[in-house]
Amino acid sequence: MSAEIDYYELLEVERTADDATLKTAYRKLAMKFHPDKNPGCGESENRFKAINEAYDCLKDPQKRAAYDQYGHAAFRQGGPGGNGGFHGGEGFSDIGDIFETIFGNAFGGGGRQQARRGADLRYDLEISLDDAYHGKDVEIEIEVSRPCEPCSGSGAQPGTGTRRCGMCGGHGKVRAQQGFFMVERTCPTCHGRGEVIESPCRSCRGEGRVDQPQKLEVNVPPGVDTGTRIRLSGKGEAGPFGAPPGDLYIFVHVKRHSMFERDGTTLMTKVPISFTTAALGGEIAIPGLDGARHAIVIPAGIQSGKQLRQRGAGMPVLQGRGKGDLVIEIMVETPTKLTGRQKELLRELQETETGEECPQSRGFFDRLKNAWEGLTE
């Protein structure tokens, strides 16, 4: 009986036949061509074997799907009846690509696991507000796994290689029947590679990578803030057995400044002034992070809490153009140490006050007076 005869024709069923129809047809034909009922008949024996082969394939949903799509080519080198085709034997390595195409999504990849990319790493970098303003090139040193040089990341001793895993047949996964379910898991021998190392490298002990310190140059651009991430592509952990490396993420933390606080691109500071400057007005100079001295005009009669804004004197816009603003909050300071002459002058000023000089105070006391009169009526 030719192995190329269609399995459905062998079982005398339609291609749309359900499981019950397949089972009934198989039992009928198996009983008809069983060697015990046809002793000495070689043709019946061959037909019986072919029927078993066909039913063994079509009763399995996975094998049947492969056969419906690829026909006998799906099993030409492995044979549908061999348990090794689905449990790590020789047959599966020959048809692995076919079943990966059909069942890859359902079983998380189906075929041999792809080499895992190396892990991403994090490095916390603390810089000053001045460095955040101007930008800076910073050299950092990290302990990171890199490909082993003696074995070039393969994990095998130089001069040796790898062989196909005997447990999974190069598939990277093994399957086991548990009741009505087929359970698939990563091969415990090769850990999903499909290959095992014959002689592990003595430098990395078969890992393909080793931990070693590495110095890196990090370009911190102007305008960074706490929480800014700088990505260094390919500077993370090396992937196992020559897989691509991960990335290194630099998390920026900006230290507090002794003079300025920051809100995005806005710089803020509090400036104390004397009450005479507040009354008469004047000018003060504020040193900026840009190295320049910014002249701030104080209008006469300014009050504590008033904010003055200097355009373009704030932080640079990250990866953009322009700068934020510098905001100065005025704090009117009352003198605590006065000379006799200064006290005398203040008394003279006090004697000339009419209440019109401080409209906020006058308004407050007027409201207080009205409230008091309301209570005494």
Same domain for 204 and 243, yes or no, is yes
Q: Is 148 annotated as a binding residue?
A: yes
Q: Is 204 annotated as a binding residue?
A: yes
Model confidence at 115, pLDDT cuts 50, 70, 90, reads low
236, part of any domain: yes
The 10s digit of each residue's pLDDT in 259-279 is 999 999 999 999 999 989 999
353 belongs to a structural domain? yes
Helices assigned H by DSSP within the chain: 7-11, 19-33, 42-58, 61-70, 84-87, 90-103, 129-134, 275-280, 340-352, 359-376
Structural domains counted in the chain? 4
* 358 marked among binding-site residues: no
Of 192 and 114, the one with more pLDDT: 192
Q: Which of 62, 73, 72 has the alpha carbon at shortest distance from 99?
A: 62
User: What pLDDT digit, counting tens, does each position of 285-314 carry?
Assistant: 999 998 899 999 999 999 999 999 999 999
Instruction: Assign 284 to helix, strand or coil.
Output: strand
166 within domain boundaries: no
Determine if residue 57 is labeled as part of a ligand binding site. Answer: no
Q: Is 190 annotated as a binding residue?
A: yes
Tokens read off for 251 = 């998390």
| Pick from 52-56, 87-91, 372-376: least confident | 87-91
| Same domain membership, residue 48 and residue 28 | yes
119: which DSSP letter? P
pLDDT recorded at residue 183: 78
Token pair of 145 as six digits: 């796994």
Whether 357 and 283 map to the same domain: the answer is no
Ramachandran area for residue 227 (φ above 0: left; ψ -120 to 50: alpha; else beta) = left
Packed helices 61-70 and 90-103: angle between N→C axes, nearest 10 degrees? 80
Q: Do 249 and 265 belong together in one domain?
A: no
- The parent domain of residue 128 ranges over 121-161+198-254
**Residue 189 included in any domain:** no
151 known member of a binding site: yes
**Same structural domain, 35 and 79:** yes
Same domain, residue pair 220 and 136: yes
Whether the model clears a pTM of 0.75, i.e. scores above it, the answer is no
Q: What is the pLDDT of residue 282?
A: 93
Distance between CA atoms of residues 317 and 305, nearest Å: 27
